[in-house]
Amino acid sequence: MYEQIAANKRKTVFLIFVFVLLLAGVGVAFNYLLKGGWAGLIIVAIIVIVASTVSYFNSDKAALAISHAVPADPVEYARYHNLVEGLCIASGLPKPRLYIVNDPAPNAFSTGRNPKHAAVAVTTGLLEKMNRVELEGVLAHELSHIRNYDILVMTLTVTMVGIIALLSDFFLRFLWFDNRDNDQNNPLGLLFMVFGFVLLIFAPIIAYIMQFAVSRRREYLADASGAQLTRYPPGLISALEKLRDDQAVVHYATKATAQMWIEQPLETDDKKAGSKFNKLFDTHPPLEDRIKRLQEM
């Protein structure tokens, strides 16, 4: 357990380093193109520092906003609050902020940068379709992600994937307008155009690599940790079986946030007929495998 937490922290440092390096590289390139000189480099440095800091401290807010999550009223969702409070007492975790996503598909996710600044969100479909024991199993799984520091890597990935997509789009738009205003052949402009197209082509691949940095093994570990926390594996097993049998997809889920949810929230081969090749890019291990491992505990 402690080795996994340490590995997660190291991976977080690596992702932040790559993120800063990417922003710095793009900023320096634009500064060179616009001939900003030393003043431009100072501005680039400030932008990189601010962007990195904002990303670290506000990635959870971005994930919640993208998912259309709203605070869970303690009175209306008393069972939800009570279960989380009980599990937090048993695990020694501080109670995270609780949110609701108005969506009929049963699913849940956790987010934040550490256990003291964490949040858990569940869909209305999950609350409606899970009994108390099953819901407790799902919430224990999400609290395990918080305790294992999985949430920081998963949440940062959301912001980074989004920024990569924005950079690729901005690069191409900038170059398109620059070429319209400049009829002369500009080797540097051509170089930037090639770089822009390369970034556009490889942005989805970079996004998938970042998502796979959040290893599928973390889902297995969170399942096992959650079952140990409740001391009743059949609860989580039953919940996963319901998730397996339900064909609904989360309306507000995106490729950037897919790895955060307890179960693949987007259409896959299990929910839509298609090529088996697509399973290679699933952000979660098959539910059947997860159920089998829990049954062996």
CA distance 141 to 103: 20
Q: Kind and range of the H or E element at 120?
A: strand 117-123
Domains of the chain with CATH codes: 2-65+152-213 (no CATH), 66-151+217-295 (3.30.2010.10)
Contact criterion met (CB below 8 Å) for 13 and 176: no
Entry pTM: 0.76
For residue 201 the two structure tokens come to 């082509």
Edge to edge, what strands does the sheet with 69-71 contain? 69-71, 97-101, 117-123, 108-114
* Alpha-carbon dihedral angle through residues 183, 187, 193, 194, given to the nearest 10 degrees: 150
pLDDT tens, the chain, 297 aa long? 567 667 766 776 776 777 677 667 666 766 666 666 777 778 767 877 777 777 778 878 988 999 999 999 999 999 999 999 999 999 999 999 999 999 999 999 999 988 999 999 999 999 999 999 999 999 999 999 999 888 877 777 766 666 666 666 666 666 565 555 554 555 666 666 666 566 556 655 665 665 565 556 788 889 999 999 999 999 999 999 999 999 888 988 877 788 889 988 876 555 444 444 445 456 678 899 999 999 987
For residue 149 the two structure tokens come to 């520091």
Question: Which residues does the annotation mark as catalytic?
Answer: 142
